[in-house]
Every structure is written in C-alpha cells, then in structure tokens.
Amino acid sequence: MIGPISAGGWAAGLLRELSSPPQGFKGACQMSGEMASRGGVTSESLVKNSFRQIATIDRGLQGGNAFVETNPDALKDARARDLERKKGHVRGYLHGVPIALKDVFETSGRMQTSAGSKALVGKGATRNAKVVDNLLKAGVVVVGKTNMSELSNFRSELPVDGWSSRGGQTLNPHRLGGAVAGSSSGSAVAVAQGHVPLALGVETNGSVITPAAYNGVFGLKTSVGLLSNEGVMTSSRMDTIGTFTRNVCDAAEALNAMTETRVYTEGLRSDALKGKRIGYTPVPELSAEEARDPAKRADSKHYVQALEVLRSQGAILVPVGTLEDGVDEGTYGGYNEALFSDVKHHLEEYLAGREGLPVKSLTELIAFNKRNLQPGEPDQKLLELINGLETTQDQRDKLWKAVLPVFQKAIDDPMKEHKLDAMVSNFLSNNYFCSAAAGYPGMSVPSGMDDEGMPTALYLYGAADSEAMLLSAAYVYEQATQAIKEPAFLPGTPFTPAPVTADNAAEVPEGNV
C-alpha cells in the first residue's frame, strides 16, 4: 500500500513521474526549442520520457514492440548534453534529441548489433557506424536499437515482416493486424508511436519506403553512395541509409548532420514548388473488385488530391508513362540473381570480419538457427539457398552491370525528356522498386488514412542525388496538408492484408514488394 504523498523525497519524485505528460508526438524542432527556452525540458527529461513510453506503450499489451533493446548509457549521455548546453555549447538543431537506430548500426557502447538474429548476440561492436558518429557529433542521444525483419528479410522464402528471433513481432500501431512492412519495421513504428522524433533504417529495396508508408511517417531513402555504410551491417552494394521522422524538417536536419553540410534545409520554403516541373505517373484505374479494397480506393483518391495540392502550390504537373513499361521480366530475374549473390558476399564478409560474434560464417549461422529453431518460427530456406551460391566478384559486377542501367533508364528518360525536377506516384504503384533498383533517392510522404484506419502515402522520387529537391517538394506538400496522423492502436486486420514486403522479393511487382 502507498501512503499519503508527501511534499518531498521519493514520493514527490513518483508523483512527478506519474503526473508529467509524455512528450507525445513532438518533432526534434519542438524538442530543440523547448530545451533552448530553459523551461524545465532537458535532454534528460526527454530521454526519460522516451524510456517511459517504451515501457508503457511499446511493450504494453497493445504496443508495437518497436524496440529490441534500450541504451543503458542514454541517461548519462543526455546529462552530458545538458551540461554542455548549460555551459553555452549547443552543437545544433539535434543537440540532446533522443533517436533510435535499426539493429544493423554498430555502436561502441553496451548495446548489441545483431540484425535481429539471436545468433549474432555476443560481444558488442567496438566502433560506431560513421553516420552514427556524425549524428553523435551533432548532439543526439541514442535511446535504443529497433527491431527489424531478421537479416533484412534474407532468412526465409516466406518472410514475416517485422519479425526477428531476437525481438519477436513488431506491429503496426495504427491497426495492430495491419501490414507493418520491412525490414526497417521497428524504426518506423518507434517514430509512429512518438517515442523518438528520428530513427535510422537501411534499405536495399523498400525497407525504408514501405514501413514509412504503412506506419504513417516520413521515410527518406538516400541515393546509393551519398552516405557512408562504414560500420553498418549491409546486405548488398545497393544498400543505403534512410530516415524516419514525423516531419520533413527533421529529415533534412538529420541528413545535414550525417553529411556534415547545411544544404538539405536550404530549400524548405513554402514557395519551393513554384515553377518546378513534376512528372506524375498515371492515376490507377480500379476495377470494381479493386474498388472494394479500402487501401486501393484511398491510395487512388489521395493521389488525385495530392496532385491537385502540388498544382495549387505552383508545380507544373507533367504526365509520364508507367515506369514498368521499360523493364522486362528478364531484368527482374537478373536483379534477383545479382542481389542474392551480393547478399552472400556481404554477410560472409561481415561475419568473418567483426570481432566477438558467436558465428563467423553463413554456414555457422544456419547451424545455429537449426539448433535453436522454435515452434512457429520462419524457416531459413532462402538463407540456405544464398549460402549455396558460388559467384566471383567479376561475375557479380557483370550481373549488376546488366540490370542497373535498365532501372536507371526507366527514371532518367522521362526526367530528361520532360526536363523534370522530380517525379511523383501513388504509393501502391510500387514505383519505389524501380527507384531503389536504380540506386536513386525516394521519399514516402503521409497523405491520409483509409476507411479502416490504415495510413496512405505519396511517393516522391527523382534522379541520383536529388534529395534536396525531394525534401523541398515534400515540405510544401506537408505544410499544405498536414496529413500525418497519430496511431489509434485499432484491433483487427484490414480488408486485405498487404503482401509481404521484403528486400528479397524482386520478382515483377504485382503488389507491394
């Protein structure tokens, strides 16, 4: 029994903890402003709020299970940032802001880096990933690692998005039985639930864009090669880092920090679209059966509305064809072959090169999984298939040389022909596939909700290194619509559960891949 609450001591502290409201769905900008105003908000209080939400919401009965672990050094790091601020040293926009990392980013502290696999839990990494170092230099506080589709969905031929042997199943906080998408599932859900304003993910093809879309947050996938993958457990040469945020400005500031520039916020203006030529792919024509699906119905409706918003904000809209028209079935097959060959090389190299891991090869990893397989867990047939591949570096290079130009041409040709600044599609067009396969950037932008409480999204994309333009376009749309919504944690499954989203699903897309 708890006695009367006194004015001081542990009871007063308990009262403060119970009565102070959580930070909710604040962006990094709002957090930064509140810390600067010295009104009682500190990095330490923000981190404590993150931890409280993780404990009571994320790990609650109806939470999304976004986090695979929390950082035991986060409060110490937050106090250090607060002390710097007190002394007049503010590193910038992200100073003291809590963030989360997908479980593939190496950190030198006491957290694991395991890609969601129990087999890789052992001695922690001895360094920080390069982009993590840059974010720490900007003043962020890492509160934890997020769950993901184990081994970036390269374990099973029938993968389960958001599931890992280490972290269990991550759920969509808008509708708990809805698609959560992968493989950066936990990072998207952590931001959607408001536990952190920024989380990092990694994408081969769809792993940032699709979780952002299905969980109703902004997802920015960067151009291949823009950011260093040093210290990141990647799956292929096409892997690239992305961000999840609840507003565009936070995504731009995070990219500024990771690139150590200021270029990505310069174009965030309300008039940024005036005179810009934006190519748009056809509005989907739904059959009577397709129109019964709330997701497809809302995807089409919100796309039409989004085009009107872009036009009203000064954009010159230019119709273009369907991207798939320039990509034949053989190219998709070649992409599969190139990708799986790369996966074996990258995973083998990582396992052999990182100190302290319990397994040092794919063969050892597969053997561990066999020994520890639990009832109901996915198989590892895809991992076994990948392990059996034998390709040389020269063969892998030739495979990629054959397919990359096809996907790049599908975007480059309309961009050049129509002198476009960017392109836009409805999310369910799956055009993010071509964009990712080309190595080009893309951005998932919340556009509303369907009739069953699942988010819809707009997909913005363009040529290589066009992130600044995409951020500007997304910013204008965001300011005009404010379409992002807080999750309702609704029970049940939608009308038609979305197909599995997997980095390994590289066949001709018929749905979400």
Catalytic site includes residue 183: yes
How do 218-221 and 198-203 pair as beta strands? unpaired
**326 by DSSP, 3-state: which?**
helix
**pLDDT (0 to 100) of residue 11:** 39
Name the active-site residue from 207, 235, 425, 472. 207
- Ordered structural domains, the chain, with CATH: 23-273+425-481 (3.90.1300.10), 329-400 (no CATH)
Enclosing H/E stretch for 259: helix 248-259
Task: Report the first-to-last Cα separation within the chain, whole angstroms.
Answer: 54
The answer to whether 161 touches 502, Cβ cutoff 8 Å, is: yes
**pLDDT (0 to 100) of residue 496:** 61
How do 240-245 and 316-319 pair as beta strands? unpaired
Name the active-site residue from 32, 152, 164, 183. 183
Catalytic site includes residue 26: no
Catalytic site includes residue 207: yes
Half-sphere exposure at residue 163, Cβ-oriented, CA atoms within 13 angstroms: 16
Question: Hey, what are 406's tokens?
Answer: 């096809």
Instruction: Return the C-alpha torsion angle 335, 336, 339, 340, nearest 10.
Output: -160
**pLDDT (0 to 100) of residue 39:** 82
**pLDDT (0 to 100) of residue 241:** 98
Identify each DSSP E strand in 205-327 by its residue range: 218-221, 240-245, 277-280, 316-319
Taking residue 75's Cβ as centre, other Cβ atoms within 10 Å add up to: 16
Half-sphere exposure at residue 175, Cβ-oriented, CA atoms within 13 angstroms: 21
Half-sphere exposure at residue 331, Cβ-oriented, CA atoms within 13 angstroms: 20
For residue 324, which of 282, 366, 363 has the smallest C-alpha distance? 282
Angle between helix axes 467-481 and 248-259 (nearest 10 degrees) is 160
Cβ neighbours for 135, distance < 8 A, ≥ 6 positions apart:
94, 99, 254, 257, 258
The Cα–Cα gap between 395 and 393 comes to 5
Question: With a cut of 70, which residues of the chain have pLDDT below it?
Answer: 1-24, 496-513
Name the active-site residue from 26, 32, 50, 102. 102
Question: Hey, what are 79's tokens?
Answer: 């106090």
The answer to whether 104 touches 152, Cβ cutoff 8 Å, is: yes
- The CA-based angle 187-231-266, given to 5 degrees, is 65
Is the preceding omega at residue 183 within 30 degrees of 0, hence cis? yes
What is the DSSP annotation of 393-439? HHHHHHHHHHHHHHHHHHHHHHHHHTT-SEEEEEGGG-HHHHHHHHT
The answer to whether 228 touches 192, Cβ cutoff 8 Å, is: no
The Cα–Cα gap between 320 and 493 comes to 35
Enclosing H/E stretch for 68: strand 67-70
Question: Hey, what are 45's tokens?
Answer: 């209080």
**pLDDT (0 to 100) of residue 57:** 96
Question: Hey, what are 135's tokens?
Answer: 């974010």
